[in-house]
Amino acid sequence: MNVRPLLVVNTLVVAAMAAVSAWGWQSIPDGATVPMNIGLDGNAYRHTDKEFYLYLMPAVGLGLTLMFAILPFLDPRRQNLAASGRFWNAAGMFSVGFLAYVHVLLVWAAAGNPIDLTSALVPGLSALFIGLGNYMSKTR
């Protein structure tokens, strides 16, 4: 199975997440907290330090990328997964892309910019489901 497109695209997305983190490092005041869990009502239920968060999200994106790249080679039924390789790559790309979108929203909000996070997540979730749904018919 060819995971090269997944690696190329997700490397660029994780690099963009790191750039957003670098921007957030300058824009978010020292000692400020970043929302981690946000409920449907738009309220943040868990906060963390900016340092932890700004390192965490690109690291999670990198971890997801590595997981999607390595798991096909560990699967005992490789031929079945290889038949659905396009969907596997798309799932990896859309997952990390959605994570990057959420990262941008949370860093933007933590920098003091007003944003309705509940409404802002709808386009990202829509793109995730549309993208995955487009490739779902191509699975084996």
Distance of CA 117 to the CA centre of its chain: 16
In the predicted structure, residue 136 carries a pLDDT above the cut 80: yes
pLDDT band at 21 (very low <50, low <70, confident <90, very high): very high
DSSP 38: E
Report the chain's mean pLDDT, rounded to a whole number.
89
Q: What is the pLDDT of residue 137?
A: 82
How far lies 50's CA from each of 5, 31, 57, 62, 110, in Å? 32, 7, 11, 19, 8
Residue 37: what pLDDT? 79
- Residues 44-93: tens digit of each pLDDT: 788 888 889 899 999 999 999 999 999 888 877 777 777 788 898 999 99
| pLDDT score at 65 | 96
pLDDT of residue 83: 79
In degrees, to the nearest 5, what angle opens at C-alpha 57 toward C-alphas 89 and 120? 85
